[in-house]
């Protein structure tokens, strides 16, 4: 239970807008550095895009961020260990059943080497993304040309086959929930390298992005992080409407929808990029930030426009069509769980905002740049494991370190 007493006169060192993993990590860092901090969260929970629901007396299901690994995701895995959570290795034995864009259904052993066009395209994407400097994406060879191409155009151009579109769609929709015709090819190469390579991003095995699930659910991490902070400094259900700052030593003022003002020396914004302009800024956000807010996109599958019953029927029909070719009796599920992140008013999709063509080489490097005394975090601002819980933790640490340094110099 969070104490909800509005501070009217208290001057905080830092106000954090957003109580997801990135905001919570920043709060821990700021507090450990000896500064006062409060968190303002628009929803009624401190979890961001982690959401765990109980499925039975003994089981939990994650409807948001779900996987960690114990080798190259050091930030989130340290929290996993700190809170005594149990990792469950992703099941990888058996066969994969695949349906191609042309409707061809086939079965292959899990981990079976790719062949033909799929192998050729994976080699291209692996090699091209490995050339990406995560600190200088504009230094990529022919950066502007590649940035102005969509992923499907890039895959067709480099592979020489129009059929590469199907694989491009599978990759972009699987990783970001967007179609390959929407997202910049350069941004996707950046995203691959951010996750330690495309093979790693698509892997369910050791070192891969989908190696370990959390038996207690990943939302447990955010809850336990919040429990270690002073509950009187966490405010839920508080929409922030404006952030004001001056060029002198006057405090920043963060205004909420119900007219309450929070004063502070620095502000950390931990909300999705596409929501930046939902908060009025004085002085206004730089043009680069406004462009990013208006032109980044979130995962939003078309089939979410169908009714819940129609979605189930379509998924079940494909399930039966694919498995029915190899299995005689297919048991019907006793329950289905959904979370439509695209319809959540303060998220509008998942897992993180992606860049459309032309953004990365023009304004992409401004994503994490401070605006005066206002700093920006969130998984999409991380250079490592962007879009994942690890990216959120690292971004929180980076932004908090910026703020702590600035406060010490003030």
CATH code, domain with 393: 3.50.50.60
Sign of torsion, CA 13 17 21 24?
positive
Q: Is the pLDDT of residue 193 over 90?
A: yes
Would you state the structure tokens that stand for residue 301, as one six-digit string? Answer: 């599958």
Q: Is 280 annotated as a binding residue?
A: no
Q: Is the pLDDT of residue 225 over 50?
A: yes
Do 97 and 51 belong to one domain? Answer: no
Do 379 and 260 belong to one domain? Answer: yes
Q: Is 380 annotated as a binding residue?
A: yes
Q: Domain end: 175, 192, 212, which one?
A: 212
For residue 296, is it within any domain? no
State the residue range of the domain holding 100. Answer: 89-212
What pLDDT shows up at residue 4?
47
Poorest-pLDDT segment among 113-127, 174-188, 294-308: 294-308
Contact assessment for residue 251 and residue 7, using Cβ atoms and an 8 Å cutoff: no
Do 208 and 221 belong to one domain? Answer: no
For residue 354, is it within any domain? no
Do 111 and 187 belong to one domain? Answer: yes
Sole residue written with tokens 């151009």: 157
Do 225 and 272 belong to one domain? Answer: yes
Q: Is 22 annotated as a binding residue?
A: yes
Name 264's bridge partners: 12, 252
For the CA atoms of 243, 374, 234, 380, the dihedral, rounded to the nearest 10 degrees, stands at 110
Do 102 and 198 belong to one domain? Answer: yes
What pLDDT shows up at residue 302?
67
Rounded Cα gap, residues 365 and 348, in angstroms: 23
For residue 324, is it within any domain? no
Rounded Cα gap, residues 94 and 310, in angstroms: 30
Q: Work out the pLDDT band at 3, boundaries 50, 70, 90.
A: very low
Q: Domain end: 172, 188, 212, which one?
A: 212
pLDDT tens-digit readout, 54-63: 887 678 999 9
pLDDT tens-digit readout, 4-16: 445 456 899 999 9
What pLDDT shows up at residue 2?
46
- The pTM of the full predicted model, rounded to 2 decimals, is 0.94
For residue 51, CA distances in Å to 41, 218, 347 come to: 15, 7, 13
In this prediction, residues 107-133 reach a mean pLDDT of 94
Identify which has the larger pLDDT, 86 or 110. 86
Q: What is the CATH number of the domain that holds 139?
A: 3.90.660.10
In this structure, the strands spanning 60-62 and 105-109 are unpaired
Q: Domain end: 212, 228, 263, which one?
A: 212
Sign of torsion, CA 18 19 24 30?
positive
Give the number of domains in the chain: 2
For residue 332, is it within any domain? no
In this prediction, residues 199-224 reach a mean pLDDT of 95
For residue 305, is it within any domain? no
For residue 327, is it within any domain? no
Q: What percent of the chain has pLDDT over 90?
A: 79
Do 272 and 384 belong to one domain? Answer: yes
Q: What angle do CA 251, 370, 361 make, to 5 degrees?
A: 160
Do 136 and 202 belong to one domain? Answer: yes
């Amino acid at each position: 239970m969070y104490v909800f007493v509005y501070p009217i006169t208290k001057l905080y060192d830092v106000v954090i807008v957003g109580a997801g993993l990135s905001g919570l990590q920043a709060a821990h860092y700021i507090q450990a550095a000896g500064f006062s901090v409060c968190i303002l969260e628009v929803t009624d929970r401190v979890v961001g895009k982690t959401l765990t629901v109980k499925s039975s007396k003994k089981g939990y299901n994650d409807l948001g961020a779900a996987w960690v690994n114990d080798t190259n995701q050091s930030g989130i895995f340290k929290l996993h260990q700190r809170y005594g959570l149990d990792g469950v290795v992703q099941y990888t034995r058996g066969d994969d059943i695949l349906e191609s864009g042309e409707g061809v259904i086939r079965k292959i052993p899990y981990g079976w080497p790719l062949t033909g066009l799929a192998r050729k395209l994976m080699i291209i994407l692996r090699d091209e993304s490995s050339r990406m400097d995560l600190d200088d994406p504009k230094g990529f060879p022919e950066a502007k040309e590649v940035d102005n191409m969509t992923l499907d155009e890039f895959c067709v151009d480099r592979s020489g086959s129009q059929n590469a579109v199907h694989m491009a769609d599978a990759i972009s929709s699987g990783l970001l929930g967007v179609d390959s015709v929407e997202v910049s090819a350069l941004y996707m190469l950046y995203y691959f390298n951010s996750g330690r390579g495309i093979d790693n991003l698509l892997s369910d095995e050791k070192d891969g992005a989908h190696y370990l699930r959390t038996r207690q659910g990943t939302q447990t991490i955010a809850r336990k992080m919040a429990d270690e902070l002073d509950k009187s400094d966490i405010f839920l259900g508080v929409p922030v409407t404006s952030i004001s700052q001056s060029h002198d030593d006057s405090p920043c003022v963060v205004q909420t929808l119900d007219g309450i003002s929070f004063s502070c020396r620095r502000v950390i914004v931990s909300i999705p990029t596409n929501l930046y302009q939902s908060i009025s800024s004085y002085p206004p956000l730089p043009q680069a930030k406004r462009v990013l807010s208006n032109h980044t996109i979130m995962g939003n599958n078309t089939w979410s426009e169908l009714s819940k019953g129609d979605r189930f029927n379509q998924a079940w029909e494909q399930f039966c069509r694919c498995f029915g070719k190899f299995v005689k009796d297919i048991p019907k599920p006793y329950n289905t769980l959904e979370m439509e992140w695209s319809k959540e008013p303060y998220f509008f999709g998942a897992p993180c905002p992606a860049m459309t063509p032309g953004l990365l080489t023009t304004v992409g490097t401004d994503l994490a740049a401070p605006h005066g005394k206002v700093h920006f975090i969130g998984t999409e601002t991380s250079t490592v494991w962007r879009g994942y819980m690890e990216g959120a933790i690292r971004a929180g640490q980076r932004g908090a370190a910026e703020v702590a340094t600035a406060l010490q110099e003030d």
